[in-house]
């Protein structure tokens, strides 16, 4: 084929391809679409429109209203779908100038576990845009559409009366989950902060109160109310303090939403589904779940009230410093007068005991001792028989006297230089007792003991031993407080950022914010613990300085008379009081379930340290070491945490705790009764049976130590009763229950100490007597305010707010703040009682002071 013919054939084929029809493809059979009819109607306020709509119809209602710049009116749209087509709801869209609000009816809201609740009647308040003109006519439209067939509905648009709340005026209204309400409040010129109070006579249904800025849209449904602003759940009471500086427009919305379920407020969770035939995915109609509420906005306190309250708080506690200084000056003048009297009488050997009416005089052997002969706290003679006879005579015992102070103890101590290093002295290495255990058994198992019997160890060793209490608690305080401060700052930040006021359990009716703190008054009221704890430390320091000066000048009273002076436990008590104030303040930054132990940990320590100090007074040689004491207190705090977390309604926990409580009581009783001269080993059961057989079966004999037995029997009765109470009642507040156990034991031992002191012929001087009386009165008032119970983290936040009350002091402090004031004063007074209780014995020989 020639070239020309090939080219002609190619052009013919290309022309055939271009001219041939395209291949037939299968086409979709589309339904012919009918255009939707649109009906636009001019509508009026306060008119009910009953109409219908279907998939081919769109109804538009046009409204217009005048908006004034200085007057805000609320507009509320209420709809009710009369047909029952849950699968194909009706959609309502409200178009405004600056906002669009849309919702479907039936309105579906979700609860816990994705439960669905349907509402046929829905009402929504429209967000009101701001206007700059004096008067402006604004238009808005309500579009109604659906995909169902011929659905009838009812529409009504009204103006909201009292949309703007007035200061100090109450306003009542109703709300449901599908018909939320919100109102506007504008700050007056002279008001910087207000408190919004919402109340209701009915606890349920549960509701949510929210404070939101003037912005569109307003989040007023259960599923979005927590998106913005501050909010809190409510049963009967709710209160939120609002500050003008937080809202640039100097106004805000008060939004009230009824929740679909009551579980978050402590109510029961309904069964779901409610019928056997109902599908789990089918919404439940809650019918008329309505709540009547009352709202009032009142001005909060001014900045002057803050200053006045701070000055009041400082004035109360600084007055104790002034009073202490005056008493110290009076005591100093009295001491100078007494010294002048002694010099005038030219009686260098006349001691304070004779001035106070005591017939005892100081033996000459006192004045011949070196300054450190008193390091072995023994009796006055150098192991002489006259000393021992004096002891046995004073005790009235017919037993053979033991010459328990030998030449060895005084000779070894007398020549030691005063500035000898204490770092190399250990209690086990340097003991004035014999190195055999038999000597201790002889001394400590006597029927009648005096302080000299239990004050025989080297004073420097014991001083170091008891100083460990202070250094240990100081170390504990630092390691405990730092993470606590960091944690509560985080809590407060979370509250401020999220606006969720259910995190912290305040008394919202008396919670005054300052800076980032939500309840500054609850923090300020803890200042008393810190200031009075510091004052107590200063008093102890002054006492220790005076005591050391007395030792330096070889004062006979400091060397051989009175209760042995050890100040380590006192320093620990003062530090614990200061830390109680600091940690209580940290707890009240955001009080809740997870940080309760911050407020109670050092309360346990204070109770334990007071008991140890009371026991140490007459048992200095055998008191517990700091390590074992703090280990026991740590165990108590551990049980406190476990009890709060797992103890509520847990039978197994209460059984285990009651058994441990009873066993610990029995072991401690045995330790105290035998003065530590017993052993817990494999032969303990055999020895118990032997004692029972010899003392109860073979011969019926009474206890050898009657006084101790009476105390321990009473203590066991009280502790067994408390254990039984806990096992039967199972109180919800386990932390307070555990603290009550410690306080009851402390009060029992203190009462026993007072009774035995008076029974032994000792007396109580004026200052400790006044401290006892005044402290008891203050404790009574303090406990009254403590049991008012303004909030409790054992319940839901909404239930806790039912206990909230208004301020009662200076419009700034509530009942719990007064508890802080009074309890800090009462603790300080209790410490002073322990400090001065035995001042009457400062001129009494130690072998004439009974041990009990």
DSSP structure string for 600-618: HHHHHHHHHHHHHHHHHTT
Q: Is 573 left (phi over 0), alpha (psi -120 to 50) or beta?
A: alpha
Beta bridge partners of 253: 184, 212
Q: Which are the contacts of 705, defined by CB distance < 8 A and separation ≥ 6?
A: 447, 673
SS3 (DSSP) at 539: helix
- Position 391 pLDDT exceeds 50: no
- Position 354 pLDDT exceeds 50: no
State the pLDDT at residue 678: 57
- pLDDT for 643-670, tens place per residue? 888 877 788 888 888 888 888 888 888 8
- Position 534 pLDDT exceeds 70: yes
| Cα–Cα dist 221/224, whole Å | 5
State the pLDDT at residue 352: 38
Average pLDDT for residues 538-542, to the nearest whole number? Answer: 92
From edge to edge, which strands make up the β-sheet containing 251-258?
A: 181-186, 251-258, 207-213, 230-234
Q: Are strands 251-258 and 37-42 parallel, antiparallel or unpaired?
A: unpaired
Q: Are strands 37-42 and 57-68 parallel, antiparallel or unpaired?
A: parallel
State the pLDDT at residue 44: 85
- Which range in 96-110, 307-321, 559-573 is most confidently predicted, on average pLDDT? 307-321
- pLDDT for 483-508, tens place per residue? 999 998 999 999 989 989 988 899 99
Q: What DSSP element (H or E) covers 159?
A: strand 151-160
State the pLDDT at residue 211: 92
Q: Which range has the worst mean pLDDT, 374-388, 452-466, 509-523?
A: 374-388
**CA-closest candidate to residue 123, choices 160, 171, 162, 77:** 77
Pull the structure tokens for residue 61: 């209602």
Residue 507 and residue 816 in contact, taking contact as beta carbons nearer than 8 Å: yes
Residues of the chain with pLDDT > 90, as a percent, come to: 19
- Position 407 pLDDT exceeds 90: no
- Position 826 pLDDT exceeds 90: yes
CA atoms within 13 A on the CB side of 785: 19
State the pLDDT at residue 694: 66
Residue 269 per-residue DSSP state: P
Q: How confident is the model at residue 437 (pLDDT cuts 50, 70, 90)?
A: very low
Average pLDDT for residues 756-777, to the nearest whole number? Answer: 89
Helices (H), 512-567: 520-524, 527-552, 556-560
566-596: burial string, b at 16+ Cβ within 10 Å, e else: bbbbbbbbbbbbbbbbbbbbbbbbbbbeebb
State the pLDDT at residue 278: 54
Q: How confident is the model at residue 464 (pLDDT cuts 50, 70, 90)?
A: confident
- Position 523 pLDDT exceeds 90: yes
SS3 (DSSP) at 306: helix
- Position 638 pLDDT exceeds 70: yes
Residue 747 and residue 780 in contact, taking contact as beta carbons nearer than 8 Å: no
Q: Are strands 90-95 and 100-105 parallel, antiparallel or unpaired?
A: antiparallel
Average pLDDT for residues 714-720, to the nearest whole number? Answer: 87
Q: List, as own/partner pairs, every contact residues 703-711 make where C-beta atoms lie below 8 angstroms and the sequence separation is at least 24, other chains included.
A: 704/447, 705/447, 705/673, 707/756, 707/852, 708/672, 708/673, 708/852, 709/673, 710/752, 711/672, 711/748, 711/749, 711/752
- Position 456 pLDDT exceeds 80: no
Residue 594 per-residue DSSP state: T
State the pLDDT at residue 570: 93
Average pLDDT for residues 404-433, to the nearest whole number? Answer: 39
- Position 422 pLDDT exceeds 60: no
Q: What DSSP element (H or E) covers 631?
A: helix 626-646
Question: How many CB atoms neighbour CB 508 within 10 A?
Answer: 25
Q: How confident is the model at residue 684 (pLDDT cuts 50, 70, 90)?
A: low
pTM: 0.77
Average pLDDT for residues 85-92, to the nearest whole number? Answer: 80
Question: How many CB atoms neighbour CB 271 within 10 A?
Answer: 8
Residue 240 and residue 230 in contact, taking contact as beta carbons nearer than 8 Å: yes
State the pLDDT at residue 524: 93
| Through-space distance between the first and last CA atoms of the chain, rounded to whole angstroms | 139
pLDDT, mean over the chain: 78
Between 607 and 710, the higher pLDDT residue? 607
- pLDDT for 226-282, tens place per residue? 888 899 999 999 999 999 888 888 889 999 998 888 888 887 776 655 555 555 566
- Position 434 pLDDT exceeds 50: no
State the pLDDT at residue 832: 93
Q: Are strands 57-68 and 116-119 parallel, antiparallel or unpaired?
A: unpaired
State the pLDDT at residue 405: 35
| Cα–Cα dist 204/202, whole Å | 6
- Position 401 pLDDT exceeds 60: no
Residue 824 per-residue DSSP state: H
**CA-closest candidate to residue 713, choices 758, 669, 759, 752:** 669
Residue at token pair 């009366």: 161
Q: How confident is the model at residue 742 (pLDDT cuts 50, 70, 90)?
A: confident
Q: How confident is the model at residue 606 (pLDDT cuts 50, 70, 90)?
A: very high
- pLDDT for 373-387, tens place per residue? 333 333 333 333 333
- Position 441 pLDDT exceeds 70: no
State the pLDDT at residue 31: 46
Residue 751 and residue 614 in contact, taking contact as beta carbons nearer than 8 Å: no
Pull the structure tokens for residue 39: 């009906």
State the pLDDT at residue 576: 94
Residue 838 and residue 771 in contact, taking contact as beta carbons nearer than 8 Å: no
State the pLDDT at residue 445: 54
| Cα–Cα dist 162/783, whole Å | 45
Residue 111 and residue 268 in contact, taking contact as beta carbons nearer than 8 Å: no
State the pLDDT at residue 279: 57
Q: Which are the contacts of 392, defined by CB distance < 8 A and separation ≥ 6?
A: 399, 401
Q: How many helices (H) and strands (E) does the chain have?
A: 21, 20
State the pLDDT at residue 379: 34
- pLDDT for 800-823, tens place per residue? 888 899 999 888 999 999 999 999
Pull the structure tokens for residue 60: 């538009």
């Amino acid at each position: 084929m020639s070239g020309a013919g090939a080219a002609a054939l190619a052009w013919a084929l290309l022309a055939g391809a271009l001219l041939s029809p395209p291949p037939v493809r299968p086409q979709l059979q589309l339904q012919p679409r009918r255009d939707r009819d649109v009906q636009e109607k001019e509508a009026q306020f306060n008119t009910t429109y009953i109409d219908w709509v279907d998939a081919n119809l769109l109804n538009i209602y046009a409204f217009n209203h005048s908006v004034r710049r200085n007057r805000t009116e609320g507009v509320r749209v209420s709809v009710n779908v009369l047909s029952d087509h849950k699968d194909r709801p009706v959609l309502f869209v409200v178009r405004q100038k600056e906002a669009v609000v849309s919702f479907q009816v039936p309105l579906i809201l979700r609860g816990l576990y994705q439960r669905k609740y349907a509402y046929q009647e829905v009402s929504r308040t429209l967000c009101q845009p701001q206007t700059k003109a004096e008067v402006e006519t604004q238009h808005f439209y309500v579009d109604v559409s659906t995909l169902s067939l011929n659905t009838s509905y009812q529409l009504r648009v009204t103006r909201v009366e009292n949309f703007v709340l007035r200061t100090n005026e109450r306003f009542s209204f109703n709300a449901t989950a599908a018909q939320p309400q919100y109102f506007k409040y504008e700050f007056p010129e002279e008001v910087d902060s207000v408190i919004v109070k919402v109340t209701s006579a009915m606890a349920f249904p549960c509701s949510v109160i929210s404070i939101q800025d003037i912005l569109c849209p307003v989040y007023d449904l259960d599923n979005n109310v927590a998106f913005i602003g501050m909010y809190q759940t409510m049963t009967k009471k709710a209160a939120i303090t609002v500050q003008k500086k937080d809202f640039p427009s100097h106004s805000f919305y008060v939004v009230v939403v009824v929740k679909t379920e009551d579980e978050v407020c402590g109510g029961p969770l309904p069964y779901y589904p409610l019928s056997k035939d109902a599908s789990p995915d089918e919404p439940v109609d809650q019918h008329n779940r309505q709540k009547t509420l009352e709202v009032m906005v009142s001005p909060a306190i001014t900045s002057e009230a803050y200053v006045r309250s701070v000055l009041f708080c400082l004035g109360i506690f600084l007055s104790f410093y002034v009073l202490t200084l005056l008493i110290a000056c009076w005591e100093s003048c009295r001491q100078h007068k007494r010294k002048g009297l002694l010099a005038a009488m030219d009686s260098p050997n006349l001691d304070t005991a004779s001035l106070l009416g005591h017939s005892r005089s100081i033996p000459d052997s006192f004045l011949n001792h070196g300054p450190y002969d008193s390091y072995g706290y023994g009796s006055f003679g150098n192991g002489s028989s006259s000393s021992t006879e004096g002891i046995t005579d004073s005790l009235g015992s017919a037993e053979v006297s033991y010459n328990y102070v030998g030449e060895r103890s005084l000779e070894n101590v007398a020549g030691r230089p005063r500035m000898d290093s204490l770092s190399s002295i250990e209690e086990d290495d340097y003991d004035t007792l014999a190195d055999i255990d038999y000597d201790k058994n002889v001394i400590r198992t006597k029927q009648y003991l005096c302080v000299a019997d239990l004050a025989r160890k080297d004073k420097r060793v014991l001083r170091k031993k008891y100083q460990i209490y202070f250094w240990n608690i100081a170390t504990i305080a630092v390691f405990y407080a730092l993470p606590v401060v960091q944690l509560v700052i985080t809590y407060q930040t979370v509250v401020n950022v999220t606006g969720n006021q259910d995190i912290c359990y305040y008394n919202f009716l008396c919670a005054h914010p300052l800076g980032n703190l939500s309840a500054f008054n609850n923090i300020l009221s803890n200042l008393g613990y810190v200031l009075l704890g510091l004052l107590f430390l200063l008093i102890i320091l002054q006492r220790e300085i005076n005591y050391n000066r007395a030792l330096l000048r070889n004062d006979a009273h400091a060397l051989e008379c009175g209760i042995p002076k050890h100040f380590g436990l006192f320093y620990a008590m003062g530090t614990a009081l200061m830390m109680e104030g600091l940690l209580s303040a940290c707890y009240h930054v955001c009080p809740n379930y997870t940080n309760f132990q911050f407020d109670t940990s050092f309360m346990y320590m204070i109770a334990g340290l007071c008991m140890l100090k009371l026991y140490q007074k007459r048992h200095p040689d055998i008191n517990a070491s700091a390590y074992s004491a703090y280990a026991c207190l740590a165990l108590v705090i551990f049980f406190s945490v476990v009890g709060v977390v797992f103890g509520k309604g847990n039978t197994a926990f209460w059984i285990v705790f009651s058994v441990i409580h009873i066993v610990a009581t029995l072991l401690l009783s045995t330790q105290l009764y035998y003065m530590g001269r017993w052993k817990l080993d494999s032969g303990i059961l055999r020895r118990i049976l032997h004692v029972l057989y010899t003392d109860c079966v073979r011969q019926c004999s009474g206890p050898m130590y009657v006084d101790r037995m009476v105390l321990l029997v009473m203590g066991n009765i009280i502790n067994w009763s408390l254990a039984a109470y806990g096992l039967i009642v199972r109180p919800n507040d386990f932390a307070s229950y555990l603290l009550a156990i410690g306080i009851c034991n402390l009060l029992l031992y203190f009462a026993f100490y007072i009774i035995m002191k008076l029974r032994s012929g000792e007396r109580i001087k004026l200052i400790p007597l006044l401290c006892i009386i005044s402290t008891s009165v203050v404790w009574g008032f303090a406990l009254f305010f403590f049991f008012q119970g303004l909030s409790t983290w054992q319940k839901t936040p909404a239930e806790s707010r039912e206990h909230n009350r208004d301020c009662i002091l200076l419009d700034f402090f509530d009942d719990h703040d007064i508890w802080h004031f009074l309890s800090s004063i009462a603790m300080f007074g209790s410490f002073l009682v322990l400090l001065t209780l035995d001042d009457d014995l400062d001129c009494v020989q130690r072998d004439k002071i009974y041990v009990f």
